[in-house]
Every structure is written in structure tokens, then in C-alpha cells.
Structure 1
Amino acid sequence: MGKTKIAFGSDHVGLELKPTIMEYVQSLGYEVHDFGAYTDERTDYPIYGKKVGQEVASGKYDLGIVICGTGIGISLSANKVPGIRAASVSEPYSAQLSRRHNNSNVLALGSRVVGSELAKMIVKAWLDAEFEGGRHQRRIDELAAEDEHNEQKFDRIVHDDSGKYSDQN
């Protein structure tokens, strides 16, 4: 099995932070690819949130990191892609829990919210965390049913009392 592959994307506002974080992630042993933006010319964050989301959802990339001014807009656009669970966070604890409890597969950062050193701490906490499964899997399955717009599947999962989602799993 090869290196974990991480897709990166940002709008023009996130461009200043992105190379620093990409270099840091590479130094941790991950493979990275930049899907834009590449210049500081004004551009729209949904372009890059969507692109990174599609790359992760397709399985071509294992995880994604996206950056805009606050992290909010680009996370919203990534989350429009079925299968994406993007978390916009501003500190390491939430980053860690977004992986452990929500199995987030895209991390969104705000370049106007966090500096480069805090961003590195957030990224490290996120990359080091692993999904716990168990009771948290039910919620991930519910989100997947929502992605599919499948209300019957969603209701089955909500009312599943088979023990499939116990902490012992």
C-alpha cells in the first residue's frame, strides 16, 4: 500500500497558507496534489471545494484539505459532493474529533482565522486521528443515506436496534 494521498484546494484568499500546509503535510510523509487556485487573482471557493470533494469521493485521493478565508464557504461546497464529510475547524481538538467521531475526509481551514503554526497543529491532530466506529458509524451511515436521498434507508438506520451500532463493534 502506497502513501496516503491528499488533495489540496484553495481560493485566492487561501493561497497564502496553502503552500505552507502542503509542504508540512509532505514532510509528514504524505503525497500531496494541488488542484488550485494557483494565482492570487480573485476566484470562487466553490470551484476548489467541489474539485477536492470529487477527487476524494472518487477514491483517487484518500483525504482533502481546502482553504478559504474562513474555511466555511469552501467546506460548504465540498460537502455538496456526496460522500464528503468536510469539517471547518479552528483548533486541534475539533479537528481530532471530526475524524474520530465524524470520519471527516476533508479538512477546511480559514486563512484569515488561523495562522500557519496553528494550522499545522490542526492538520497534525486531524491526520493523526482515526475513526472510532461503533456508535459513530450509525451517524455516518445516516449521512450516506442522506447523500443518496434515500429516506427509507435513513429511517431503517435510525430505528436499527440490532446492536450493529454498539460501542463493542
Structure 2
Amino acid sequence: MTQEVIALASDHAGLALKTALTEELTALGFAVLDLGTESTASVDYPDYGYRMAAALADGKAARGVLVCGSGIGISMAANRYSWVRAALCHDVTSARLCREHNDANVIAFGERLIGIEVAKEALRMFLNTPFAGDRHVRRVTKLGTPPDKPSVA
């Protein structure tokens, strides 16, 4: 049986949490694709969100984890790509719902906003929760193909 590969990326402000989540994934039996960063030297979070998008597009991983200080910027960067559904989560409930309702393929955390143990718990929920399908399929499909110009009516 082949190990599922989970990609991880963070900027300098998310390095400690990324390291802890890498250890958690390894302990759970996943293969880890580390997309950086490797130090606390200041870097730009969009570069790491883009690396995640590239890893998913290239088939190097089917799911991923992003971390920056707040989780906001890095998830926004990754979500610029239609095949990425990165969800910023703060607890196990948001992790469960992003999978069940939104078929998220990337979970994002803010190291400055979430504790390590809560993040580990949320990560496990994300990994173990299936997409509910049904009525959510129509909505998730719209996420990948937005209209050219939204209607205000």
C-alpha cells in the first residue's frame, strides 16, 4: 500500500507549527512533502501558498497544510488557483465542516492564533472526514468556475 503524500508549506511565522504538524503526520503514517520554509528568516507567504498550488497541480500531493502567522494571507494566495480549496481553520469543527461541506483539499492554520494541540486535533479531523457530496457538489463546483462578472441583482 502506498503512503498518501501530504504537502506542507509555511512562511517564517508558521515554521514551528509546520514542524509540529510534520511530526504528527509522520506519526500517523503519512509521507510528507515539505515545501518550505526551513528557517525563521523573513520570507513572503504568497510564495509558499503558490508552492502548495503547484504541488497539487503537479500531482505531488492530493492534500496539504499551510501555515503562516494568521493563516489568512497564505490561504488567500493558495486559493487564487481554481484547483485549491484551502480552508483557514481554528478548531475541529471548522476542520470537519471544511471537508464535509466544501471538500477542502488544503487546511490552513495561523500559528499565532491556534495552539499546537488544537491544530493537531483539527488536522486529524481534516484527514479523516470525507466530503458529504450530495447538495454540496453543486456548490463546490461553482468554487472552481466563478462567473466572469458576478451579478448584483
TM-score for the superposition, normalised by structure 1: 0.84
Which ranges of structure 2 fall in alignment gaps of 5 or more residues? none
Aligned positions of 1:1-169 closer than 5 A: 2-146=2-146
After superposition, the CA RMSD in angstroms is: 1.6
Question: Equivalent pairs: percent with the same residue?
Answer: 40
How far apart, in 2, do the equivalents of 1:116 and 1:133 lie? 30
Contact 2:46 2:73 in 1 (8 A): yes
Equivalent position SS for 2:49: helix
Q: Which deviations, in whole Å up to 9, do the C-alpha atoms of 1:111-162 show, x marking residues without a partner?
A: 000111111011011111000111000011111222xx668xxxxxxxxxxx
How far apart, in 2, do the equivalents of 1:141 and 1:116 lie? 33
Q: Which amino acid aligns with 2:120?
A: K
Contact 1:7 1:64 in 2 (8 A): yes
Q: Which amino acid aligns with 1:88?
A: L
Equivalent position SS for 1:7: strand
Equivalent position SS for 1:13: helix
Higher relative contact order by CA 8 Å / sep ≥ 6: 1 or 2? 2
Contact 1:20 1:116 in 2 (8 A): yes
Q: Which amino acid aligns with 2:101?
A: H
Q: Which stretch shows the higher mean deviation, 130-139 or 48-57?
A: 48-57
Q: Which deviations, in whole Å up to 9, do the C-alpha atoms of 1:15-61 show, x marking residues without a partner?
A: 11111101101111111111111111101100001101221133221
TM-score for the superposition, normalised by structure 2: 0.93
